[in-house]
């Protein structure tokens, strides 16, 4: 009997606790959105023997999306010293995360397509390497170059 009374008291208390006044709200009709919050360049090192640039620290970008249609990355050429060179970029090791969760993505050498259709903040991390297309390329010492990456968010 005592147990029944205690159980009834617990249920009653729980009911009272849930019966308090609330602030009910709704986010309203928010628009589709793609917003780049942050972009950080990475760095790469050159190995003359294999004519390959390898990422030393990855480039990153943070993108906030709501109902995004697509999020993709494409690679450009090697630029520097007032010249451009064709390179074959491989994005292996790159990732896209939403919070602590990895996002499904397709890496096809020099392009990345990520599944970023759910609302949230996505972090794009660009790892990989780039090999000179022209095997005759011969660089000066201590010259700066970069490879451009375009991150496209379609809303």
User: Can you give the binding site for another protein, defined by CB under 8 A?
Assistant: 30-42, 59, 61, 63-64, 67, 69, 79, 126, 146-155
**Closer by beta carbon to another protein, 139 or else 146:** 146
**Least Cβ distance, residue 50 to another protein (angstroms):** 22
Q: How far is the CB of 10 from another protein (least distance, A)?
A: 46
- What the block records as the tokens of 121 is 């903040």
d(Cα 55, Cα 41) in Å, to the nearest integer?
Answer: 11
Q: Where are the alpha helices (DSSP H) in 2-146?
A: 2-18
Q: What gap in Å lies between CA 15 and CA 9, rounded to an integer?
A: 10
CB of 145 to another protein, least distance (A): 10
Q: Which pairing describes strands 120-126 and 129-132: parallel, antiparallel, or unpaired?
A: unpaired
**CB of 68 or CB of 103, closer to another protein:** 68
Nearer to another protein, 17 or 30 (CB): 30
């Amino acid at each position: 009997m005592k147990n029944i009374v205690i159980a009834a008291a617990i249920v009653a208390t729980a009911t009272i606790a849930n019966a308090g006044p609330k602030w009910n709200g709704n986010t309203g009709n928010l628009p589709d959105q793609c917003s780049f919050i942050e972009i950080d360049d990475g760095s790469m090192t050159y190995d003359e023997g294999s004519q390959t640039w390898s990422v030393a620290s990855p480039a990153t970008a943070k993108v906030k999306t709501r109902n995004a249609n697509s999020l993709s990355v494409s690679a450009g050429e090697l630029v520097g010293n007032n010249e451009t060179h064709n390179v074959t970029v491989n994005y292996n090791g790159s990732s896209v995360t939403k919070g602590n969760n990895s996002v499904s993505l397709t890496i096809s050498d020099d392009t990345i397509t990520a599944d970023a259709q759910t609302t949230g903040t996505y972090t794009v991390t660009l790892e990989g390497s780039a090999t000179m297309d022209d095997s005759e390329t011969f660089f000066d010492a201590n010259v700066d170059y970069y490879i451009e990456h375009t991150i496209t968010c379609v809303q």
